[in-house]
Chain A
Amino acid sequence: MIRFALGRGISLCLSLIVASLVIFAVIEVIPGDPAAFMLGVNARPDTVAALRAELGLDQSLPARYLDWVGGMLRGDFGTSYTYRTPIAGMIADRVWISLPLALYALILSTLVAFPAGIYAASRRGRAGDIGVMGATQLGVAIPNFWFAMILVLIFAIELRWVSAGGFPGWEAGFWRGIGALTLPAIALALPQAAILARVMRSSLLDILGEDFMRTARAKGLSRRRALWRHGVRNAMIPVLTILGLQFAFLLAGGIVIEQVFFLPGLGRLIFQSISSRDLVVVESVVMLLVMVVIVINFAVDLAYAAIDPRLRRRG
C-alpha cells in the first residue's frame, strides 16, 4: 500500500511542477500592465514606472517565477498588486465559500443521484427506470447558469424565500451561510446529479450481470438484499472515479455560478484579478485549483485501494 501511495505521490509532485510552469508561462504572456491599469488614465509615465518597481514587476521572468514558487511552498502566495494585501489571506476567505459550495453541491448531487441510480437499476426497463433516465437526460441538458437564473427568478424575486445572492459570512451563523449557498448549490448540483445517477445505474447494471450476484441469489438472498449487500459496493468503484472528477468540475463550475449569485468565491476572484491584470493573484488561485484537483485525484486513487482489496496487495 505504501509503495502504491509513494508511486502516485511522485507523479503528483511532477504534475504540480509542470502545472506551475504552464500557468506562469501563460499568464505572463497576457497583454496589459497592472501598474498602468491601477494608476488609471491620467497617470504620468514616471508614476507608472515607480509603481512597477514597487510591485517587483521589473524583475526578470525566472526571478519572479522562483520567487512565486518559493513563496507558495512557504504558504505565502505573495501580495496582490491591486489589493496590496497578502494573497494567502484573500484566498483563505474565498476558499471558505468556494469549497463549501462545491462540497454542498457534491453532497446534494450524491444524495439525489445514488437512490435514483439504484432505483432505476433495480427497475430496469420498467416505468421507474424510464422516468429517472428521462429526468437525467433533461438534467444533463440544462445549462447550470440558466437554471440558476430561473431559480433566482422564482425563489428570490417572486417568492422571496431566500436572498438573491451575496454571502453574509460564516460569522453571521452557520445556517445563514448554508441558506445563502442553497440556491447556488442546487444549480451546481443538478447536472452533476444527472451524470452521477446515470453512471450509478449503468455500473450497477454491469455488476448485476456478474456471476457472484447469481451466487448471492443461490445463497438465498432476496433480489433486493443481494443488490444492497453485494451490488452497490462493487458498483462504487467506477462511481468513485466520476465523484473525484465531479468535485473538480464543481469547483470550476462554481466560477459561473458565483457570477450569477455574486458570491465572493474563488471564481469571482479569478475574474476580477484577470480584468485588473492582478497576475500574481490569478497565478496563485489557478495553481490552487489545479492543486486541489490533483490532490483529489490522488485521494480517489487511495480510496480505490481502500475499497478494492485487489489493488491493496499489488503495491
Chain B
Amino acid sequence: MFRILTATATAMLMAGAAAAQDSVRIAIQLEPPNLDPTGGAAQAIDSVLYSNVFEGLTRFEADGSVVPGLAQSWEISDDGLTYTFRLREGVTFHDGTTMDAEDVKFSYDRAMAEDSINAQKGLFADIAEVTVIDPATVEVTLSRPNGSFLFNMAWGDAVIVAPESVDDIASDPVGTGPFMFDRWVQGDRIELVRYEGYWGEAPALARATFRFIADPTAAFAAVMAEDVDAFVGFPAPENLVQFEADPRFQVLVGNTEGETILAMNNAVAPFDDPLVREAVALAIDRQAIIDGAMFGQGTPIGTHFAPHNPDYLDLLDLSPHDPDRARELLAEAGLPDGFATTLKLPPPSYARRGGEIIASQLREVGIEADIQNIEWAQWIEEVFTNGDFGLTIVSHTEPMDIGIYADPDYYFAYDNPDFRDVMEALSATTDPVARTDLLHRAQTIIAEDHVNAYLFELAIPTVAQAGLRGLWLNQPTAAVDLTGVSWAE
C-alpha cells in the first residue's frame, strides 16, 4: 500500500528545477529575526544584507581589509580627531531617493540617539558631532582619537539608511546595495533581485534566494539532493568528507573571527587563582576537541586572536596538553583531589559536542564539570549578565574583539590594569608598526595569565555546486557577499 502511494507522489514531482544560470539558492543555518542591521545583533541579518542590500562608508573585503564603500575618499586631521569623507556621486536608494551627506548624518545620529536600539552602540561612542559640508561631503569629529574608527564604520551596524524608508526597515529593507529586497517567506526563505540603478559595477547574478536550514540532517539532505546551490556555514562537519569525494560539489573551509574559548569565571573561586586556570588550560587537548567535535575543522589558538590576522602571535606552547603538570598545579593551588564546577553550554554544536569532550578531559585531572545545556537567552541572562557560572564554552565572532579583556565587568571578569594600559595605547596610535607591537603584548599577557583556555578558531565550511565562483573563503565579518559571485560557463 505504501509503495503505490509514494510512487504516484513522485511521478508528479521530479527533483527541484535546476538553478537558472543567473540566479543562485544560498542556504545558511539561522534565519534573521528581522531585516534591520542597525536594530539587532543577530549575525544572520548581516549574512543576508551586508554589502548585498546595505552599504556603509567603508567596507570589509574578503581578506578582512577595510576599503572605501559609499565614501570615495577621506582625509584625517593631524590630531586624528576630524575625518572628512568625500561621498560617491549619483548613488540612489532602492526606492529611488538619492543618497547624500544628510542620510549619513541621519544614520549616525540615529545610532547614537538616547533611545537607539543599535546593538553596537559602543562603536559610535567616540563621535562628538557629524556635520554636513555639502551634499557630497560630510565631516565627523571625534571626542578622542580612535585608531580603529574606519574599521568600526565598516561594521554592518554602521550602514547608511534613509529617513524616508527607515520606519518599516525591519520587514522591508531599503539600502544602496547592488541587490534589492524582493520577498520574505518567514521560516523558509528571503529573495533578493539585482538593483538596476546600482552606482557601482553590476553583479553577475540577477536573483538570489536565501534558504534557512538549522537541522544538520536536513542540511546534508538539502545539499545532497541539490535543493540548494551553496550552504555557507554547513552545520555538519562530519559529512564534508562525502562532499569532497563527490565531483558535483566543491568544499571551501575558511576561518571566521570566532575565537572559541573555554571561558572561566575569574571572579569566582577557584578560578580566581591563576594556577588553577593554568591547570585547566593544560588539561585540555585542543586537537582531540577539533577532531571529535568539529571533525577536524578549525585551527588551534593559544590566545584570543584570529590566526588569519597578520598581527596573530603563536602562543600555543604556553598551554600544551599536559595532564600530569595540571594535577601538580592543582595540588600546588591546594586542591590535590580537584574540585567540582558547572559547565554551561549554549546551543551550537561546537559547545554541546565540545563540552562533552572537555568534561571527560577535565575529569582526567580530577575536575568534575556538571554539564548544563541551555538556550542562548538563558546563557545571556545567567552567564553573560549575572556571571552565574564556573565554566562555559562560547565563540566570540566579532572582529578584533581582544578589547573585551580590558573590561572587568565582562562575563569572565578579568581585571588587569597593565592590559588596560596596552589597550589605551592601542586606541591612541594609528601607526601600523606600533599597533602590531601593542597587539603582540596584549596577546601575550592574556595567554600567560591563562584568563581562559583558548581552544580553536571556529572554521566555516561552505559546500557549493562545483560551477559556483566568487564565494568568500573566510568570514572576517558575518556576511555572504554575493557581489562577486557568478556561474562558470
Contacts and interface: CB of A to CB of B under 8 A. Distances in A.
B13 A261 contact: no
Interface stretch (A151-159, A220-228, A293-301, A305-313): A151-159
A36 B186 contact: no
B349 to A, nearest CB: 14
A262 B42 CA distance: 21
Nearest to A259: B215
A164 B376 contact: no
Contact of B41 (A42, A149, A179): A42
A161 B6 contact: yes
Contact of B215 (A40, A163, A260): A260
B9 interface: yes
A157 B220 CA distance: 9
Contact of B222 (A38, A93, A164): A164
Contacts of A156: 221, 224-225
B368 interface: no
B34 interface: yes
Contacts of B213: 165-166, 262
Interface in A55-97: 82-85, 90, 93-94
Contacts of B116: 47, 50
A39 B347 contact: no
B79 to A, nearest CB: 28
Contacts of A167: 188
Contact of A41 (B10, B115, B380): B380
A204 B429 CA distance: 87
Nearest to A169: B185
Main DSSP-derived SS at the B contact region: loop
A99 interface: no
B381 A275 contact: no
A301 B41 CA distance: 50
Contacts of B117: 39, 47, 50-51, 54
Interface in B1-58: 1-2, 5-6, 9-10, 12-13, 15-16, 31, 33-34, 40-42
B78 to A, nearest CB: 31
Contacts of A34: 377
Interface size class of A (residues with CB under 8 A): 35 or more
Identify whether the interface residues of A are mostly helix, strand, loop, or mixed.
helix
Given A39-B117, A164-B225, A262-B213, A44 B122 contact: yes
Given A33-B380, A85-B171, 13 more contacts: A36-B380, A38-B41, A39-B40, A40-B40, A40-B41, A40-B119, A41-B384, A43-B119, A112-B1, A164-B221, A165-B213, A264-B185, A268-B187
B378 interface: yes
Interface string A261-276: 1101000110010111
B217 A42 contact: no
B9 A182 contact: yes
Given A40-B42, A43-B121, A149-B217, A275 B186 contact: no
Contact of B10 (A94, A162, A164): A162
A44 B120 CA distance: 8
B218 interface: yes
A275 B376 contact: yes
B398 interface: yes
Contacts of A83: 33-34, 170-171, 186
Contact of B227 (A166, A260, A276): A166
A176 interface: yes
A31 B381 contact: yes
Given A39-B119, A259-B215, A161 B10 contact: yes
A304 interface: no
Most chain B CB inside 10 Å of its own CB: which residue of A42, A179, A183, A186: A42
Nearest to B16: A163
A163 B211 CA distance: 14
A36 B377 contact: yes
Contact of A36 (B13, B120, B385): B385
A277 interface: yes
B215 A41 contact: no
Nearest to A262: B218
Contact of A152 (B1, B33, B188, B217): B217
